[in-house]
Amino acid sequence: MQDLKIFTTDLYNFEKDVIYRSEDTLILVDFWADWCVPCISISPNLEATVNEMNGSVLLMKVEVDVDENMKLVSEHDIRGFPTIIMFKNREEVARFSGFQSREWIKNWIYKYL
Protein backbone atom coordinates (compact mmCIF):
# COMPACT_ATOMS: atom_id res chain seq x y z
CA MET A 1 0.00 0.00 0.00
CA GLN A 2 1.44 3.36 -1.03
CA ASP A 3 1.66 6.09 1.57
CA LEU A 4 -0.50 9.03 0.54
CA LYS A 5 1.67 11.61 2.35
CA ILE A 6 4.91 10.81 0.50
CA PHE A 7 5.32 11.62 -3.18
CA THR A 8 7.96 11.85 -5.87
CA THR A 9 8.21 14.99 -7.97
CA ASP A 10 10.52 16.35 -10.65
CA LEU A 11 11.54 19.50 -12.49
CA TYR A 12 8.41 19.52 -14.63
CA ASN A 13 5.92 19.02 -11.80
CA PHE A 14 7.70 20.92 -9.02
CA GLU A 15 5.65 24.11 -9.29
CA LYS A 16 2.32 22.24 -9.19
CA ASP A 17 3.37 19.62 -6.62
CA VAL A 18 5.30 21.88 -4.26
CA ILE A 19 4.82 25.59 -4.80
CA TYR A 20 1.05 25.67 -5.42
CA ARG A 21 0.28 22.85 -3.03
CA SER A 22 2.12 24.66 -0.23
CA GLU A 23 -0.74 27.18 -0.14
CA ASP A 24 -2.83 24.58 1.69
CA THR A 25 -0.29 22.22 3.27
CA LEU A 26 3.20 22.39 4.67
CA ILE A 27 5.49 20.68 2.13
CA LEU A 28 8.92 19.17 2.80
CA VAL A 29 11.10 18.54 -0.23
CA ASP A 30 13.86 15.98 0.15
CA PHE A 31 16.58 16.55 -2.46
CA TRP A 32 18.50 13.26 -2.50
CA ALA A 33 20.68 10.97 -4.59
CA ASP A 34 20.89 7.18 -4.57
CA TRP A 35 24.70 7.29 -4.12
CA CYS A 36 24.42 9.51 -1.02
CA VAL A 37 24.66 7.51 2.23
CA PRO A 38 23.23 10.28 4.46
CA CYS A 39 20.32 10.60 2.00
CA ILE A 40 19.49 6.92 2.38
CA SER A 41 19.96 7.11 6.16
CA ILE A 42 17.62 10.06 6.73
CA SER A 43 14.82 8.79 4.51
CA PRO A 44 13.19 6.50 7.13
CA ASN A 45 13.31 9.34 9.70
CA LEU A 46 11.62 11.78 7.31
CA GLU A 47 9.00 9.27 6.21
CA ALA A 48 8.14 8.12 9.74
CA THR A 49 7.88 11.70 10.98
CA VAL A 50 5.61 12.75 8.11
CA ASN A 51 3.42 9.68 8.67
CA GLU A 52 3.01 10.61 12.35
CA MET A 53 1.74 14.08 11.46
CA ASN A 54 -1.62 12.92 10.09
CA GLY A 55 -1.58 14.86 6.83
CA SER A 56 -0.52 18.23 8.27
CA VAL A 57 2.74 17.94 6.28
CA LEU A 58 3.59 16.21 3.00
CA LEU A 59 6.94 14.92 1.78
CA MET A 60 8.02 15.37 -1.83
CA LYS A 61 11.14 13.46 -2.86
CA VAL A 62 13.34 14.74 -5.70
CA GLU A 63 16.06 12.40 -6.91
CA VAL A 64 18.57 14.91 -8.23
CA ASP A 65 20.28 12.60 -10.73
CA VAL A 66 17.08 11.73 -12.62
CA ASP A 67 16.29 13.52 -15.90
CA GLU A 68 16.76 17.27 -15.52
CA ASN A 69 16.13 17.46 -11.76
CA MET A 70 19.64 18.87 -11.19
CA LYS A 71 18.25 22.18 -12.49
CA LEU A 72 16.18 22.35 -9.29
CA VAL A 73 19.41 22.06 -7.29
CA SER A 74 20.77 25.24 -8.82
CA GLU A 75 17.42 27.04 -8.73
CA HIS A 76 17.24 26.45 -4.97
CA ASP A 77 20.93 27.04 -4.26
CA ILE A 78 21.50 23.58 -2.80
CA ARG A 79 25.09 22.91 -1.77
CA GLY A 80 24.96 19.31 -0.54
CA PHE A 81 22.77 16.27 -0.10
CA PRO A 82 20.47 15.55 1.47
CA THR A 83 18.90 18.99 1.67
CA ILE A 84 15.37 19.24 2.99
CA ILE A 85 13.50 22.45 2.19
CA MET A 86 10.19 23.40 3.78
CA PHE A 87 7.63 25.35 1.74
CA LYS A 88 4.62 27.19 3.13
CA ASN A 89 2.38 29.63 1.26
CA ARG A 90 4.49 29.29 -1.91
CA GLU A 91 7.70 30.31 -0.12
CA GLU A 92 10.69 28.54 1.31
CA VAL A 93 10.49 28.99 5.08
CA ALA A 94 13.29 26.73 6.31
CA ARG A 95 15.91 24.19 5.27
CA PHE A 96 18.55 21.87 6.62
CA SER A 97 21.21 19.63 5.14
CA GLY A 98 22.63 16.35 6.32
CA PHE A 99 21.36 13.65 8.64
CA GLN A 100 19.01 14.45 11.54
CA SER A 101 17.12 12.27 14.01
CA ARG A 102 13.36 11.75 13.93
CA GLU A 103 12.97 13.81 17.10
CA TRP A 104 14.98 16.70 15.65
CA ILE A 105 12.94 16.63 12.41
CA LYS A 106 9.65 16.56 14.34
CA ASN A 107 10.67 19.57 16.47
CA TRP A 108 11.83 21.43 13.35
CA ILE A 109 8.48 20.86 11.60
CA TYR A 110 6.41 21.88 14.63
CA LYS A 111 8.01 25.33 14.58
CA TYR A 112 6.21 26.01 11.28
CA LEU A 113 2.83 24.35 11.73
Per residue in 6-16, pLDDT (tens digit) is 999 999 999 99
Domain ranges within the chain, ordered by starting residue: 6-110
CATH placement of domain 6-110: 3.40.30.10
d(CA 25, CA 40): 25
Per residue in 5-55, pLDDT (tens digit) is 899 999 999 999 999 999 999 999 999 999 999 999 999 999 999 999 988
d(CA 84, CA 94): 8
- What is this structure's pTM? 0.94
* Positions marked catalytic: 36, 39
What pLDDT, on a 0 to 100 scale, did the predictor assign at position 55? 87
- Looking at the DSSP bridge assignments, the partners of residue 85 are 29, 95
d(CA 113, CA 111): 6
1: pLDDT confidence band, cut at 50, 70 and 90? very low
